[in-house]
Chain A
């Protein structure tokens, strides 16, 4: 859905650098989900946020990964000290109330070199 904007679309980072992935949800949506996808694989849940709150982060590694969804501005997925294994497509989805239609952005493809 064109309403969910992710940027950048492609991101290249060297090992040890930080990656910041941004997701602007559909206007009026206050629930955001982040997923990770490896080539030829499914969508692996990482974290579920509601404005200013983390609802479920059970799918997100405890080390190096963090996410936020501030009152103002986009949701940010931050990966510190990236490693080659972090290379993947990261998708976010937004929902108005958490239990109805969720729409995805086009993803950020992270490549760690």
Chain B
């Protein structure tokens, strides 16, 4: 089955700096890669996603890149703000017929220091 590795497990940056979180996946058939942000005491919130036919996607200060050959994808947050502090999870879905299983990385705890 699919396995998703995520690095680093913790990341501390100064406000205004950029943050990069990297994930690798094992199943070359995986074709959808969402990123979630989880704040303390809340459920994970979908913040951006990318499909296997696209190499990069951007939404304001966040962007995701995908390298299918190397089987890795990354989340980039620019001009970080204290409210970006949270745990970020990457995930991968492998579509098989009418179903797909959503497998997560272990998460990255991002701290943005003012």
Contact = CB atoms under 8 A, between A and B. Distances in A.
Nearest to B93: A99
B107 A31 contact: no
Interface in A19-77: 31, 33, 35, 41-43, 45, 48, 50, 55-56, 58
Contacts of A107: 42-43
A4 to B, nearest CB: 8
A99 B46 contact: no
B43 A104 contact: yes
Q: Is the interface of B mostly helix, strand, loop or mixed?
A: strand
A18 B85 CA distance: 36
Contact of A1 (B31, B45, B104): B45
A58 B2 CA distance: 13
Contacts, number: 68
B11 to A, nearest CB: 15
Q: Is the interface of A mostly helix, strand, loop or mixed?
A: strand
Nearest to B106: A42
Interface residues of A, number: 29
Given A31-B99, A48-B101, A55-B99, A101 B106 contact: no
A93 B43 CA distance: 9
Nearest to A53: B99
Contacts of B42: 106-107
A99 B95 contact: yes
B32 A100 contact: yes
Contacts of B100: 95, 98-99
A104 B98 contact: no
B75 to A, nearest CB: 15
B46 A1 contact: yes
Contacts of A95: 100, 102
Contacts of B36: 104
Interface of A: 1, 4, 6, 31, 33, 35, 41-43, 45, 48, 50, 55-56, 58, 91, 93, 95, 97-107
